[in-house]
Chains A and B, each alone.
Chain A
Amino acid sequence: MTDRRRLLGMAVPFVAVLGSMIVGLLLIAASGKDVPDAIEAFMDGAFGSAFAIGASINRAVTLSLVGLGFILAFRANLTNVGGEGQIAVGGIAATALGLWPPIASLPLGLAVIVPLLGGTLAGAFWGGIAGFMKVRFGTNEVISTLLLGFVALLAVYWCVQSTALLRQPQTSSATLPESLQIADAAKLPSLTGNAESPLHIGLVICLLLAVATAIVLQRSTFGLRLRAIGLNELAARRAGMPGGIMMVVALAMAGAFGGLAGAIMLQGEQYYLKTGFSSGYGFDGLVVGLLSRGSTLGVLAGALFFGFLRSGGISMEIMAQVPAALTLVIQGLIVIAVAGSVILVEKLQGAR
């Protein structure tokens, strides 16, 4: 029976994705745009060239990292909604370190690694605040991570508005509110060596971390403890587990993944900080985490799907004049459908 139950559990995200995509197609048709044209533009932007595929996979890397962090914390029944803010603080830290000359001259690839670690730590700190608030004051982490997200996004704005922080020197009134480009030595190396493809070693980092996450969740004492706290915090505490510390660590780890994602976005493709550079990846990563039902493979699959969806969506907007907001509609519908079908699935599973 367990096989059937697992199959049912996995069927839900698939059905939700499929149904939402159909709604998306209907919306394109309803808006009077040419559906085959839109599909062609979508395919072209998602898979059409080495560049498109590389860009889509890079997007998937960001989403996977946020999603992996999400499922780690979710194992302890903590919902991290702050991915967007964690990406933002990670990006700030990576930019600051990537622009600092002493770091850029470090040998042995440290010029790349130090900003990545800096971003990771910044994210961990940001997530840790929410964990601390949860343990110390009983603040619901959903609200605190959301609010911290807004603060972090405004911190990016602050950093690029003020020359005392990260804004490039203002030579004329036309100087954009952006940082300078980070040092070449701090940029992530290309994975393929092909100048056509933006694919960078973020993919390798992401896959290694995915394996590590799977091991931690399934084979380690730490993973077991997270699950125990998630299932019954009081019982876990009575059993002698340091419940409070575990919760702070869980949210800090989720934040660390977000911060690393931000650093990779910055060092991998964007190279300079600007307002809104996180552009919704935090929320998309959250969706990926939710859909995965706690499975690492599920995160990777979902991230690939949404990575290609995003690339295709952007191309659809440019080439077929279908607003990219369509992908948001599809995502929102997927989340609602999956969340709404939980009881239905339980009933079906229980009924054999």
Chain B
Amino acid sequence: MEEMLAVFIASTLRLAMPLMLAASGELVSERAGVLNLSLEGMMLTAAFFGALGSWASGNPYLGVACAILASVVVSAVQAWLSVNLRANQLVVGIGFNILALGATTLLYRIIFGGLSREEIPGLPKLAVKGLSDLPFAGTAFFQQSVIVYVGLALIVLIWAMLNHTSFGLAVRAVGDEPRSADKAGIPVAATRWKAVLITGFMAGFAGAFISIADIHTFTENMTNGAGYLALAAVIFGGWNVGRTIAACLLFGAATALQFQLPAMGIHVPTAFLLMLPYLLALLAVAGVVGRLEPPTSLTLPFQRGK
């Protein structure tokens, strides 16, 4: 029983990881007033280019770099459209997701052909010395892929940045009161640009985690809605880092039940278990946790003097 619980915690953490990475990045951008529905597309693009980079170079770390680069490029276009061209952020996001699905599928077919599942060099699991042998916590927490530890550190960094730096203050200012922020001399456009690029960076990490660290290959539409779950987690978390991470863990745990319950001999329809994260996300965005206040200027473009 204890062993099972440890495995459950480990798989929860593994399944929640891409959500946590993507959601914490998206959080920064949303606090600055820009919603990236394209999160799904950024992650899928990253998963593909990460796999491609890792496969072509034989080096999974180079793969991670490719993933991040690809995702940051997508986020830069998103930032240009959202901030400079003041396009409808929701519509642009949908466009990116369609494009990312099409482009990654197309490129995969062209490069790898047909339906082959090319195995790519993946990141090793890192057993933390001394800790991985602990009876319970060892299995639960300390036999994860390298990227998990780096990712967790990045999430702590984002939390610190948002809450304890002047840049974090600027981000929150342009997300709530861009006009006042502008008058106070904070560059609204530049701050939003940086925030969206941070989202791209983290989504890149998330995508790399899925293809390089977790699955070790690329499959068509492999993110399969993870980006949307991450967006729901941000709402569930009330635009607060700690609560957003908690929401991701909850979604991860719901997904992990798919594997855990059958192993425990409990028979629940698979379809219901697959549905569970989305149902929870629906409840979350319906505000069962209390009505949540989004950043005041979320999705509203800013134009000086208007």
Contact = CB atoms under 8 A, between A and B. Distances in A.
A144 interface: yes
Interface in A42-82: 79, 81
Interface in A123-137: 133, 136-137
B224 to A, nearest CB: 9
Nearest to B220: A325
B270 interface: yes
A339 interface: yes
A292 interface: no
A162 B287 contact: no
Interface stretch (A99-107, A146-154, A168-176): A146-154
A342 interface: yes
B102 A137 contact: no
A341 to B, nearest CB: 8
A351 interface: no
A323 B106 contact: yes
B111 to A, nearest CB: 9
A27 B106 contact: yes
B86 A155 contact: no
B81 A339 contact: yes
Contact of A287 (B98, B281, B285): B98
A150 B270 CA distance: 15
Contacts of B90: 79, 81, 142
A155 to B, nearest CB: 7
Interface string B69-93: 0000000000001000111101110
A36 interface: no
A144 B279 CA distance: 10
B232 interface: yes
Nearest to A331: B98
Contacts of A349: none
B101 A158 contact: no
A139 B87 CA distance: 22
A154 B274 contact: yes
A333 interface: yes
Given A133-B285, A147-B278, A158-B269, A31 B110 contact: yes
Interface string A319-331: 0000101111111
B96 A336 contact: yes
B83 to A, nearest CB: 11
Contacts of A331: 98-99, 102
Nearest to A164: B269
A161 B110 CA distance: 33
B85 A340 contact: yes
A328 B41 CA distance: 13
A225 to B, nearest CB: 23
Contacts of B135: none
Contact of B102 (A31, A147, A290, A332): A332
A157 B26 CA distance: 30
A79 B47 CA distance: 28
Given A154-B278, A323-B105, A323-B109, A328 B98 contact: yes
A285 to B, nearest CB: 12
B94 A81 contact: yes
A151 B98 contact: no
A142 B99 CA distance: 18
B95 interface: yes
B8 interface: no
B271 A154 contact: yes
Given A155-B271, A162-B271, A328-B105, 12 more contacts: A27-B106, A137-B291, A139-B285, A142-B90, A143-B285, A144-B286, A157-B271, A329-B106, A332-B96, A339-B81, A339-B91, A341-B85
Q: Which 7 A-B pairs have the closest CB atoms?
A: A332-B99, A328-B102, A335-B95, A158-B271, A325-B105, A332-B98, A329-B102
Interface of B: 37, 81, 85-88, 90-92, 94-103, 105-106, 109-110, 225, 228, 231-232, 235, 269-272, 274-275, 278-279, 281-282, 285-287, 291
15 contacts: A137-B287, A143-B228, A144-B286, A147-B228, A150-B225, A150-B228, A151-B279, A154-B271, A154-B274, A161-B271, A325-B105, A325-B109, A328-B105, A333-B99, A342-B86
